[in-house]
Amino acid sequence: MTPSVRSIAGSSNRARRPFPDIGCGPMIGRMPAYRLLIATLVVLTGAGAACRNAGSAQPEADAGTFLANANDTLLRLAIESSQAGWVQNTYITPDTEAMSARASEAYMTAATDFSKQATRYDAATVPDAERRQLTVLKNSLTMAAPADPKEAAELAQLVASMEGMYGRGKFCQDGESGEACLDVEEITEILAKDRNPARLLETWEGWHSIGPPMKKSYARFVELSNKGARELGFADTGVMWRSKYDMPPEAFSKELDRLWGQLQPLYLSLHTYVRARLH
């Protein structure tokens, strides 16, 4: 069912902080919901075609032309994905989740396709600025969509669904229900200002009760994300993430351990001081 302005604007579910951000571009500023919804519907009408055409650069195209096409296309799809995400995170309904998932799928699929195409220029002689852009393009993905269109759509839907579950999540104390339950903003307020240790522990543990229902979806999300990363030549998504820092992934892990070894004494001393002051 295509959502109407009435059905979305009438929703009482307001988003809180979304679950994991998937790096789909800058979040747009707040604007009237009906204008944003109309823009999003227009975006999603052409999302499939945009996705199919996003990586259409020909093999003989020079690197500069390929990069210009990639930059223009990904910027447009990133904005469209952010617009759809804004609607979803402001009005949490199954319809807005589906809209956001389709826009995210278009962006992820195009970004993954461009990343694969960028490898065609690995042996080419290009200016340093273009070489840097090609490297960033290959390493900029937060998650890679599998080549199978059905799996790519499933991955996008899983992300949108988990964001919705997080935004709707509430902690209900014994005997409470409905409006008496605490959402993420109310939980944040308690943890920031309450000084009752028992209350803080209860609130912290209660909020974590919203996580278990996401377990199955998250496991599938990891499976599909890792598959997409392997199709790009990485062992898994973690290796893809660690390849972003101008050094081999294994070197990044070693450097992180080295830096932690320098910071650990200060961290332990600070933790000991704070604990002593609190008790």
Where does residue 62 fall: left (phi above 0), alpha (psi -120 to 50 degrees), or beta otherwise? Answer: beta
* 134-183: pLDDT as tens digits: 878 877 778 888 889 899 889 988 988 898 888 888 888 876 777 789 98
| pLDDT value of residue 173 | 81
Structure tokens at 112: 């993954």
pLDDT computed for residue 36 by the predictor: 33
- Residue 4 has a pLDDT of 33
In sequence order, the 6+-apart residues with CB closer than 8 A to the CB of 71 are 133
pLDDT-wise least confident of 42-51, 59-68, 183-192: 42-51
pLDDT surpassing 70 at residue 94: yes
- How many whole angstroms separate alpha carbon 129 and alpha carbon 151? 34
What's the pLDDT at 258?
Answer: 96
Entry pTM: 0.60
Residue 22's pLDDT is what? 36
| Interatomic CA distance for residues 57 and 260, integer angstroms | 43
> What is the pLDDT confidence band of residue 59, given thresholds at 50, 70 and 90?
very low
16-20, 143-147, 219-223: segment of lowest average pLDDT: 16-20
**Measured distance CA(15)–CA(11) in Å, rounded:** 11
The lowest-confidence range among 22-31, 99-108, 215-224 is 22-31
In this prediction, residues 50-72 reach a mean pLDDT of 66
Torsion (CA) 56, 36, 12, 1 in degrees, nearest 10: -50
Give the list of residues 6+ apart from residue 161 with CB closer than 8 angstroms, or none. 97, 101, 217
Categorize the per-residue pLDDT at 61 as very low, low, confident or very high, splitting at 50, 70 and 90: low
Residues 6+ apart with CB under 8 A from 229: 143, 144, 235, 236, 237, 239, 240
Q: What is the pLDDT of residue 118?
A: 86
* CA 174 to chain CA centroid, nearest Å: 34
Contact predicate 191/200, CB 8 Å: yes
Going by pLDDT thresholds of 50, 70 and 90, the confidence category of residue 32 is very low
Higher pLDDT, residue 226 or 26: 226
- Per-residue pLDDT tens over the stretch 256-269: 999 999 999 999 99
Per the prediction, the chain carries an average pLDDT of 77
- Which percentage of the chain shows pLDDT scores above 90? 29
The predicted structure's pLDDT at residue 156: 86
Mean pLDDT, range 107-127, rounded to an integer? 86
Average pLDDT over residues 123-130: 88
8 Å CB contact between 142 and 111: no
Model pLDDT, residue 110: 87
Q: What is the pLDDT of residue 101?
A: 84
- Calculate mean pLDDT across residues 34-58: 37
- The position carrying tokens 């020909």 is 58
For the residues of 141-198, what is the DSSP string, one character each?
-SS---SSHHHHHHHHHHHHHHHHHHHH--B--TT--GGGSB-HHHHHHHHHH---HH
Report which listed range, 14-28, 49-63, 125-139, 220-234, is most confident: 220-234
d(CA 201, CA 207): 10
Check residue 253 and give its pLDDT. 92
Q: Which two tokens stand for residue 134?
A: 């090609």
